[in-house]
Amino acid sequence: MDTLTFLLSGTLLAATPLLIAALGELVTEKSGVLNLSIEGMMALGAVTGFIVATASGSYWLALLAGGVAAAALAAVFGFVVLVTLGNQVASGIAVGILGIGLSGLIGRPYESSTIAPMHELPIPFLSNVPVIGPGLFDHVALVYCAPLLAVATWWLLRSTKVGLVIRAVGEAPEAAHAIGYNVVLVRFCAVLYGGFCAGIAGAFISIASATLWSDGIIAGRGWIVVALVVFGTWRSGRVAIGAYLFGMTTLAGLLVQSTGIAIPSQVLTSVPYIVTIIAIAMLSMDPQRIRLNAPVSLGQIYHEAK
Amino acid sequence: MKQATESRRGDPLLVISDLTKRFGEFTANDGISLELEPGEIHAILGENGAGKSTLMKMIYGVLKPDSGTLKWRGKPVILHNPAHARALGIGMVFQHFSLFESLTVAENISLAIPETVKLLRSRIAEVSTRYGLPVDPDALVHKLAMGQRQRVEITRCLLQEPQLIIMDEPTSVLPPSAVPILFETIRKLAASGCAVLFISHKLEEIRSLCHKATVMRAGRIVATVDPAVESSASLAKLMIGRDIPHPSRSAAKPSDVPALSLHNLTLAPDDPFGTRLDDISLQVRPGEIVGIAGVSGNGQRELAAVLSGEQPLPAKQNGSVRLFGGDCGHSDCGHRRAQGMAFVPEDRNGRGSVAEMTLEQNALLTGYARNLVAYGFVRNAAVSKFAQDCIHEMDVRCSGGDAEARSLSGGNLQKFIVGRELALKPKILVASQPTWGVDIGAASAIRQRLVDLRDEGVAILIISDELEELVEIADRVHALFRGSLSPSIERGDVTDELIGSYMAGNFSPEKLSVEVSGP
């Protein structure tokens, strides 16, 4: 495999779970809820997906199971912040830790075991193009789905009634309530959706990219997801750019290391974060755009008047 | 047969009996009963804190009553939420607009109406021409002036074809020329059988529009009257329980040197939907009140921003804004405040105050220069006293200096902000809509304070949609039309016709248009 193929293919593999989870978190945040437990939800999705794939051999079922498990954890989070009105930041971190602990517990018997990778779905003709073909068009189906999901999320939020309601609830919950929307229900659904996406992303890591389970496998990716949404100024396109950029710089770091140039590995591992932050910050310097996209009520407790 | 009796005209549409709502110790509504017939325009009158808003929220399903019953078309109902109220045919136009700022007008309306944005566009256009409420369906709400936002609210409500519309102070942000058009709308609605609950503190409006008026004071109904046979003075007396004073004023004795002046100020807006200020010259001398009349959206926001320093002039533009003769067009708000200028912004939430902060913290925001900070530390006792003085001086109804700004009603917060700016003892005061949403008793107190301040030699500029306010206290009045300023009219020469024609652009032939309600 030549270098470029390796770079392209590795970028997609690294970016796909980030993008899927970030698009879910984007919808959650647009409804006004800041979910900081993505890391735990991805871990729970990863372990559930791994176990289901090992036991049943069905990778699709495994992805679904990962999503459902994380959505169940998201329901706990949703209950705490929306019904009992817990602080979103503190509750998010706590539920995240719960998810990580739970995944370690459930995954104990499977610690460090591996699994055959999910089957690739090469796209006819395109995958035969030299260099680019194997790099871009010879992947598991989810890799192709991620950019489509970005477009779908953009369309959902921009042009559909559902998207409009989510944005309205995230911007002015009192006003949304006053014109007759059930703010808590909308937010709860958005939280469940975000959890589901995070779970799928976690399962993708354990069964399609890393193809193993070990405690701590998510390794901070859940936090990158949260950062991508914020630095992407709550726009699907920018979140996608951020995810792929992050994936690419991660791979580039590996390549540099493999050439034997003497740069400390700590510097190389920090590069993706720095590059992503700088790039997205430059893309989103227009304060008016941020004002239009940032959910005004993000992170605030909504207390319905009785 | 049951249906026949229900739809017979003259049967009450809504019967409220003995409604009570408490918030902790405080009884906001105490045993309220009233009846509403189809086609009736019914006024609810009362000062801030009298309980009007609480009552309306219960009728619209936002709040649940502690006791008492609601009957809608003969049947007892318990309103679960606003959607339920809307499904029954109850619509509401809010005082604090329930609009989403980052969405367009059409998107905002589509949230309340089960129809696609595309289809709505034509219905919006139709309703807005029929009722004389011009709105651009594709405009983003956060770029609209207050008056324009209200048109969106009213249009949204009308599109739901309700049987009862609750209007909370609907004329408070409309230009005078649009008020008769709105009234025509309301009368048309009433003629078609729709009942209207009309909350207002403008007594003349109630007298000319409403069939019946319920007067509230301190959470109770004090009277139900026929407004046509009452006088404004008698209504006011019922409402506040005493006579209201009109500001006493003597002739202005302005000094000759202007405190604040604009010289041929021309400024293109940053905001693509803003108004271009066009060759504005203006002088405000110590000891006079100058009023700027005009329909909202004609450059008031831009002018206020240039005066306050929020919008500094471009570097090459010199001498257009002067404070006591010195060029200050480039200096920021803080510098201008340091030179003795104070501002009451139009937008009391977000510019005038920070909603999440307490009144004391809000007082500190502009009062810091009045010895409230020492060696970089906040002097808490002094801040507390300063805030207490503002609260006491303006009779702000709140739980104390530690109350969050957002816990206050709009009028009370406005009183606090005005009080804070007056307490700064300014030499120049620029006030936009100083009495917006403030009830009649408190508004007249604010106006009296402004006149007193003028007599102490302060230069005062007031930008207001309320023509009566300007006529009452200003010594000279200009009108703003599409970014151009009319010549000033001296107090004695102000007539409704003259100022009205200036507000429609009759001083500036090239900009004149037949449009009545502005851009």
B94, B98, B107 member nearest A164 (Cβ): B107
CA distances from B420 to A178, B49, B271, B383, B392 (A): 32, 21, 30, 11, 11
**pLDDT in the model for residue A5:** 86
Whether the per-residue pLDDT at B516 is higher than 60: the answer is no
Nearest CA in chain A to B64: A306
Where are chain A's structural domains?
Answer: 2-114+131-293
Q: Is the dihedral of CA B338, B340, B346, B348 positive or negative?
A: positive
**pLDDT in the model for residue A103:** 96
Is pLDDT larger for residue B78 or for residue B182? B78
Q: Is the dihedral of CA B83, B88, B93, B95 positive or negative?
A: negative
Enumerate the residues of chain A whose CB falls inside 8 A of the CB of residue B81: 177, 180, 182
Subunit contact A161:B94, Cβ cutoff 8 A: no
At residue B194's C-alpha, the angle toward residues B193 and B195, to 5°, is 115
CA distances from B255 to B7, B266, B271, B287, B425 (A): 68, 27, 37, 7, 18
Subunit contact B103:A175, Cβ cutoff 8 A: no
Enumerate the residues of chain A whose CB falls inside 8 A of the CB of residue B62: 177-178, 305
Is pLDDT larger for residue B516 or for residue A108? A108
**pLDDT in the model for residue B283:** 93
**pLDDT in the model for residue B518:** 39
* DSSP one-letter string for A78-119: HIIIIIS---HHHHHHHHHHHHHHHHHHHHGGGTT-B-PPPP
Q: Where does the pLDDT of residue B3 fall: very low under 50, low under 70, confident under 90, or very high at 90 and above?
A: very low
Angle between helices B146-159 and B117-130 (to 10 degrees): 110
Q: CB B10: neighbour CB atoms within 10 A?
A: 7
**pLDDT in the model for residue A156:** 95
Where are chain B's structural domains?
Answer: 14-89+161-240, 245-340+427-519, 345-425
**pLDDT in the model for residue B8:** 41
**pLDDT in the model for residue A15:** 95
Whether the per-residue pLDDT at A253 is higher than 60: the answer is yes
A180, A181, A305 member nearest B63 (Cβ): A305
Subunit contact B100:A167, Cβ cutoff 8 A: yes
Q: Where does the pLDDT of residue B517 fall: very low under 50, low under 70, confident under 90, or very high at 90 and above?
A: very low
Enumerate the residues of chain B whose CB falls inside 8 A of the CB of residue A291: 102, 142
B83, B107, B116 member nearest A180 (Cβ): B83
Number of inter-chain CB pairs under 8 A, A vs B: 64
**Nearest CA-CA distance, residue A295 and chain B, Å:** 9
| Low-confidence winner among A277-291, B302-316, B339-353, B362-376 (lowest mean pLDDT) | A277-291
B57, B60, B111 member nearest A168 (Cβ): B111
pLDDT in tens, B465-476: 778 889 889 999
A178, A293, A306 member nearest B98 (Cβ): A178
| Low-confidence winner among A12-21, A56-65, B20-29, B259-268 (lowest mean pLDDT) | B20-29
Burial class of residue B506 (count of CB atoms within 10 Å of its CB; 0-12, 13-18, 19+): middle
Enumerate the residues of chain A whose CB falls inside 8 A of the CB of residue B116: 161
CA distances from A67 to A24, A104, A187, B302 (A): 11, 17, 18, 51
Whether the per-residue pLDDT at B334 is higher than 70: the answer is yes
B63, B103, B116 member nearest A168 (Cβ): B103
Domain B14-89+161-240: assigned CATH number: 3.40.50.300
Among all chains, which residue has been given the structure tokens 């706990």? A76
**pLDDT in the model for residue A135:** 81
pLDDT in tens, B227-254: 888 887 888 888 877 776 676 777 777 8
**pLDDT in the model for residue A167:** 94
Average pLDDT over residues A228-256: 89
Whether the per-residue pLDDT at B97 is higher than 70: the answer is no
**pLDDT in the model for residue B4:** 37
**pLDDT in the model for residue B515:** 39
Q: Is the dihedral of CA B361, B363, B366, B370 positive or negative?
A: negative
Enumerate the residues of chain B whose CB falls inside 8 A of the CB of residue A179: 82-83, 86, 98, 111-112
Decide which of 3.30.1050.10, 3.10.20.90, 3.40.50.300, 3.40.920.10 is the CATH code for B245-340+427-519. Answer: 3.40.50.300
ipTM of predicted complex: 0.78
Terminal alpha carbon distance of chain B: 51
* B31 phi/psi in degrees, rounded to 5: 60, 50
Enumerate the residues of chain B whose CB falls inside 8 A of the CB of residue A305: 57, 62-63
Q: Where does the pLDDT of residue B42 fall: very low under 50, low under 70, confident under 90, or very high at 90 and above?
A: very high
Percent of residues, chain B, with pLDDT higher than 70: 92
Which tokens is B203 given?
């007594």
B63, B64, B82 member nearest A179 (Cβ): B82
* DSSP one-letter string for B204-259: HHHHHH-SEEEEEETTEEEEEE-TTTS-HHHHHHHHHSSPPPPPP-------SS-S
Which tokens is B36 given?
């509403």
Q: Which of A162, A177, A179 to mutate to test binding with chain B, by most B CBs within 10 Å of its CB?
A: A179
| Closest C-alpha to B235, from B216, B252, B253 | B216
Subunit contact A180:B102, Cβ cutoff 8 A: no
pLDDT in tens, A163-179: 999 999 999 998 888 77
Average pLDDT over residues B290-301: 87
Subunit contact B103:A178, Cβ cutoff 8 A: no
Percent of residues, chain B, with pLDDT higher than 90: 31
CATH architecture for segment(s) A2-114+131-293: Orthogonal Bundle (1.10)
Quick check: helix, strand or coil at residue A200? helix
pLDDT in tens, A112-137: 899 998 888 888 888 888 878 888 88
Q: Where does the pLDDT of residue B317 fall: very low under 50, low under 70, confident under 90, or very high at 90 and above?
A: confident
pLDDT in tens, A80-98: 999 999 999 999 999 999 9
Enumerate the residues of chain A whose CB falls inside 8 A of the CB of residue B155: none
Contacts of B270 (CB under 8 A, 6+ apart): B311
User: Of the segments A42-46, A112-116, B7-11, B151-155, which one has the largest average pLDDT value?
Assistant: A42-46
Is pLDDT larger for residue B18 or for residue B147? B18
Percent of residues, chain A, with pLDDT higher than 70: 96
CA B375/CA B383 separation, integer angstroms: 15
**Nearest CA-CA distance, residue B121 and chain A, Å:** 15
**Nearest CA-CA distance, residue A78 and chain B, Å:** 22
* DSSP one-letter string for A127-178: GGSTTHHHHHSSS-HHHHHHHHHHHHHHHHHHHSHHHHHHHHHHH-HHHHHH
Nearest CA in chain A to B156: A179
**pLDDT in the model for residue B176:** 63
Subunit contact B111:A292, Cβ cutoff 8 A: no
What single DSSP character describes residue B314? Answer: P
pLDDT in tens, A263-302: 887 888 788 888 877 877 777 677 666 667 788 888 888 8
CA A33/CA A27 separation, integer angstroms: 9
**Nearest CA-CA distance, residue A180 and chain B, Å:** 4
Subunit contact B140:A292, Cβ cutoff 8 A: yes
Count how many Cα atoms sit within 13 Å of the Cα of residue B440 in the half-sphere of its side chain: 25
Q: Give the max Cα distance, chain B.
A: 81
- Torsion angle of C-alpha atoms B326, B328, B334, B336, degrees rounded to 10: 50
CA B70/CA B273 separation, integer angstroms: 45
Q: What is the mean pLDDT of chain A?
A: 90
pLDDT in tens, B122-142: 888 888 777 767 788 888 888
**pLDDT in the model for residue B7:** 41
**pLDDT in the model for residue B95:** 64
pLDDT in tens, B483-496: 999 999 998 888 87
pLDDT in tens, B423-465: 999 999 999 989 877 877 788 889 999 999 999 999 999 999 7
Q: Is the dihedral of CA A110, A111, A114, A118 positive or negative?
A: positive
| Beta-strand runs (E) in B87-194 | 90-93, 164-168
Average pLDDT over residues B378-403: 89
